[in-house]
Chains A and B, each alone.
Chain A
Amino acid sequence: MVAAETSPSAPAKTSSAATELTALLARRGSKPFVARFRQTKHVALLREPLVSTGRMSFEPPERVRWEVEAPEPFVVEADGAKLRAGPPGKLADVSEMASFGTPGALTGLFTGVPEDLAGSFDVTSSGAGRFRLVPRDPALLRILVAIDLDLDPETGVPRRVVLNEAGGDRAEIEISREGATAPAPG
């Protein structure tokens, strides 16, 4: 009964949310970006989450630096498909196989509108700048049940990204607004 009442309106709402998200990402475009982040890993059934903090920057077209400061300094640099990682000052190349898609995942946060957004995800909105993306690809759904995005409704800059994993774990990345629109240092 509930399904019968809600299903006719659901596709329209989803379509509208995907359009809204696409417009917001297009408005943001691909701009330099510097911010602090706080990554909170909630491991299913563990009482306390694992917290990391640090600094991140993005330089168009595809260069991202992800610098963990605590609990242990560690740097990841993605430039296109290339990935380097290691302790500060000792970065080494990382093979594609060992990267777990990191370059694409990192740059995808900042580089305009993903191709075929509505075709790849079922997008719903829960308020201004807040979206839930559910993968349509069963293989991806096996890994990720949903991505929650909280974007600045004016600028489209990401404020919070939550990766809800199929195994019950959850990774939450909060991005501070301070410096969020400042250009990255050369």
Chain B
Amino acid sequence: MLAACAALIACAARAPQPPAPSRSSCAAFESAPPAERICREDGGIETLQARFRADVTIGDESRSSEGVLLVRRPGALRVKLFGIGGMTVHDALWVAEGSSVRGVVRRPFDGEPLVLELRPGERPTEPEAGLSFALWALWRERCARTPRAGADGWLDLDPASAHAAVRQVRVGATGVEAERVVWQEGAPASEVIRVHYAVRDCSLALPLPTSIEMVASPQGWRASVRILEQKLNLELDENLFVTSEGAPPPHPGRGKAATSPLLRSLSARPRASRAESSPPSLRRRKLARRARGRAK
């Protein structure tokens, strides 16, 4: 009996503690001081599941995909994009591990997964990894230290949790309405991502935005994200955020170029240019190779 009670208490202690329900969380936010409007999400969200549609433009190419975003604070984020018919066409997982962040980006139609380990200040140069990494950074804790007034109405946040050099927000009546992340201070504008948040969902315990515009124009991508459904502080399976064991088992076909006409048409992105543009400090390993190493 005691053991059962202890187990229940332990589970209760681990369970996410959602903020008190509110009929209109927007109204409650409007009376809060700016710092609280910025920081309330840090303590109020432990997990999130959001279904969305994203219009992503990379260079001259645009793509509209539905997907799901899964967040588990403090440092895990997964994004899946689906094609017509529901097939998963993109699956990116980012997890903070010590001072680094590990990323696994799988594109089933494009051969082997991309595996990255980034140190603070580094960011992926591959466009297909850039969007999900930016989302990971934006979902990191905003208020490790109290926001400070900066120039031109921006508030400076502690950038370390986002592995960035600079992180700034502008706050509106119901929360953060713009955010700017710079990975290398003084570097060209290619290190900057600008985000605008709008159309808050006031029925949630925290009024999260449902329209998110992200621009990393010098890197050549921009994204317009519309949230279709979102849930806060739900129980998410821990295995969703496992970067190693979560890998699919090695398969005889893994790593082979797609051979069917359909698959050839789907794997057209030049991969060599991606590798050439990568900074030497990024450590890339093929997932299959890592899996073999672990099995020894």
The chain A residues found within 8 Å of chain B, CB to CB, are: 39-41, 43, 45-47, 50, 52, 66, 71-72, 74, 76, 85-86, 92, 94-98, 100-102, 104-106, 120, 137-144, 161, 163, 165-169, 171-173
Contact = CB atoms under 8 A, between A and B. Distances in A.
Given A94-B63, A139-B257, A173-B86, 12 more contacts: A39-B86, A41-B82, A46-B236, A47-B237, A106-B84, A137-B253, A138-B253, A138-B256, A140-B253, A142-B256, A144-B87, A172-B86
Contact of B86 (A85, A101, A171): A171
B64 interface: yes
Interface residues of B, number: 47
Contact of B84 (A47, A72, A76, A139): A76
A134 to B, nearest CB: 13
B108 interface: yes
Contact of B237 (A46, A71, A137): A46
Interface string B217-243: 000000000101100000111011000
Interface in B227-281: 228-229, 235-237, 239-240, 248, 251-254, 256-260, 262-263, 265-266, 268-269
Shortest 8 CB-CB contacts between residues of A and residues of B: A171-B86, A138-B253, A100-B83, A45-B237, A98-B63, A142-B253, A41-B86, A139-B258
Interface SS of A by simple majority: mixed
Contacts of B89: 100
Interface string B66-94: 10101000000000101111111101000
Interface of B: 49, 51, 53, 61-64, 66, 68, 70, 80, 82-89, 91, 106, 108-109, 226, 228-229, 235-237, 239-240, 248, 251-254, 256-260, 262-263, 265-266, 268-269
A104 B88 CA distance: 17
B229 A71 contact: yes
Given A43-B80, A142-B108, A100 B260 contact: no
25 contacts: A71-B51, A72-B226, A72-B228, A74-B53, A74-B64, A85-B64, A96-B265, A97-B265, A98-B62, A101-B263, A102-B83, A104-B262, A105-B85, A120-B260, A138-B251, A138-B256, A139-B257, A139-B258, A140-B253, A141-B251, A142-B254, A143-B263, A165-B87, A171-B82, A171-B86
Contacts of A98: 61-63
A144 B248 CA distance: 12
A137 B53 contact: no
Contacts of B108: 142-143, 165-167
